[in-house]
Amino acid sequence: MTTEDTNGNPHAHRRSKLAARLGTRPALIASGSARPRNYTANTYPFRASSHFLYLFGLAAERDAFAFYDGATWALYLPPRDPDDALWEGPRPSFAAIAESTGCAVHGVPELDRALHGRDVATLPAPDLETCEAQGRWLGRDVRPRRFSAADEALADAIISLRLQHDDAAIAELRLAAAATDAAHRAGMRATRPGLRESSVRAAMEAEILARDLTVAYGSIVTTHGEVLHNEQHHRPLGSSDMILADVGAESPGGWAGDVTRAWPVAGRFSTAQRELYEVVLAAQRRAIEAVRPGVRYRDVHLLAGRALAAGLVDLGLLRGDPAELHADGVVASFFPHGVGHLLGLDVHDMEDLGDRAGYAPGRTRDPAPGMRYLRLDRDLAPGMALTIEPGIYFIPAILEDPALDARTGGRVDRARAAAFVAAGARGIRIEDDLLVTPDGHEVLTAAVPKTVAAVEAAMQS
């Protein structure tokens, strides 16, 4: 949102802002290691750590370190091996990287001299290999999700920057949204009874791969959307099923898109499918309308929950007063997760820093049903990106639990729930990516078909 960021090098601007927050306190940021699939040399495509990407944008620099010595930033990269050209092609020279970044570039072994005897903050990488390297350089134990006091101060400084996206970041989020839109349209077009879930997933991911991008997270493409992180794709598509697809592209610079849609395999929503879908859509709209600077995200979550409560009462699934049903946690049996999360270089942005990023200082997770999975509880501010993703799920373990009646005071109509399950409406979630603007918000993923009419049209196209 700060227009100066697009003038010149956004990474240099971010480094200078972070330096201003750190003052004379030194910091070491690791780019991370390639992850093995099954043996060391067979790796997943390398993706630099989000903090390193944020500050340098050097997506291909594995096993590299950025060091801020309390005054300036320098890069420490693995020495170039002559065999690189044979196996992986020529890599940019240290001189070329020094030129493009404006930073001094050294070989990793020279870190020793730079760090010698200093108390240096770092952010533990998610993989132990990199943590071990960090620990070796810093002479202390570095572990994922464990932070020294200095590390926490560094984390807070980075969070204060990454929470509110600059123009370069927003441009990347738009690229991710555009590829995510194409993927969902391809999935809708590819859906036909008799295929398997995997065919729809393939059509969606192929759109992303064809753009030379990758998915931002493991795709969920399932007829059993009631399993929240369902990564199975083997089931055949029955003509009365609905597909839930939670698929997002990662932009060229590593920024995430994160969209969920649900659509009928038959190409037309049945009455029951449409009824449930419209309840979720109304709740999502209610939540989206509320997104603006100064609003507490927890309240957006509660708005969505109350709107779902009202809709479930209208459908005869719940009996009683919507506000009471929500306050009593009955709605949480159908909407157990949070209404969304921060979005940025990580699909759950900065989740490597725990709730430090998602929760404002002094706020902590509420263990109540329906609240404990809420990943974001900050007052919204311009430049924040987040998702809004209410859902309704008929979860067998909950609906078949003999204690359900006692727990809900008999306010759940199990037979009505079973009818929706039979209609293929087992789990519906609708998710968009939003940018908080000075005046309210912008839906970054507004192009992805969402109304019943738009989804049906996209399936026919």
Q: Structure tokens of 91?
A: 């890599």
Looking at the Cβ atoms of 95 and 439, the one nearer to its own copies is: 95
At position 342, the amino acid (one-letter code) is: L
CA gap 123, 143 in Å, rounded: 9
**Residue 3 Cβ vs its own copies, minimum distance, rounded to whole Å:** 28
**Residue 222 Cβ vs its own copies, minimum distance, rounded to whole Å:** 9
Looking at the Cβ atoms of 33 and 445, the one nearer to its own copies is: 33
Looking at the Cβ atoms of 20 and 206, the one nearer to its own copies is: 206
Looking at the Cβ atoms of 7 and 38, the one nearer to its own copies is: 38
Q: Which positions ≥6 away from 220 have C-beta within 8 Å?
A: 229, 230, 231, 244, 245, 246, 247, 260
Contact 240, 265 (CB under 8 A): yes
**Residue 356 Cβ vs its own copies, minimum distance, rounded to whole Å:** 12
**Residue 181 Cβ vs its own copies, minimum distance, rounded to whole Å:** 16
Helix, strand and coil percent figures for the chain, each rounded to 5: 40, 15, 45
Looking at the Cβ atoms of 166 and 258, the one nearer to its own copies is: 258
Looking at the Cβ atoms of 35 and 140, the one nearer to its own copies is: 35
Query: Residues in the site for its own copies, rule: CB under 8 A?
Result: 35-45, 47, 49-50, 82, 85-90, 126-129, 132, 144-145, 196-199, 201-203, 205-212, 217-218, 224, 227-234, 336, 345-348, 351-352, 395-398
**Residue 285 Cβ vs its own copies, minimum distance, rounded to whole Å:** 26
What number of residues does the chain have? 461
Q: Structure tokens of 248?
A: 């997002």
Looking at the Cβ atoms of 114 and 387, the one nearer to its own copies is: 387
* Rg of the Cα atoms in the chain: 24
Looking at the Cβ atoms of 37 and 446, the one nearer to its own copies is: 37
CA gap 203, 249 in Å, rounded: 13
**Residue 195 Cβ vs its own copies, minimum distance, rounded to whole Å:** 8
Q: Name the 3-class secondary structure at 208.
A: helix
**Closest to 127 measured CA to CA, from 135, 138, 117, 137:** 135
Q: Name the 3-class secondary structure at 367.
A: coil
Looking at the Cβ atoms of 5 and 205, the one nearer to its own copies is: 205
**Residue 90 Cβ vs its own copies, minimum distance, rounded to whole Å:** 7
Q: Structure tokens of 332?
A: 């949480």
**Residue 194 Cβ vs its own copies, minimum distance, rounded to whole Å:** 13
Looking at the Cβ atoms of 286 and 426, the one nearer to its own copies is: 426
Looking at the Cβ atoms of 12 and 209, the one nearer to its own copies is: 209
**Closest to 309 measured CA to CA, from 392, 386, 376:** 392
CB atoms within 10 A of CB 139: 13
Q: DSSP string of 21-78?
A: HHTT--EEEE---PPBSSSTTSBPPP---HHHHHHH--TT-TT-EEEE-SS-EEEEEP
Strand stretches in 206-334, DSSP E: 214-215, 220-222, 242-247, 249-250, 259-264
**Residue 424 Cβ vs its own copies, minimum distance, rounded to whole Å:** 17
Q: Which positions ≥6 away from 321 have C-beta within 8 Å?
A: none
**Residue 336 Cβ vs its own copies, minimum distance, rounded to whole Å:** 6
**Closest to 31 measured CA to CA, from 46, 12, 45:** 46
Q: Structure tokens of 112?
A: 């020793």
Q: Is 254 exposed, middle or buried (0-12, 13-18, 19+ CB in 10 A)?
A: buried
**Residue 173 Cβ vs its own copies, minimum distance, rounded to whole Å:** 16
**Residue 301 Cβ vs its own copies, minimum distance, rounded to whole Å:** 18
Contact 379, 296 (CB under 8 A): yes
Looking at the Cβ atoms of 227 and 443, the one nearer to its own copies is: 227
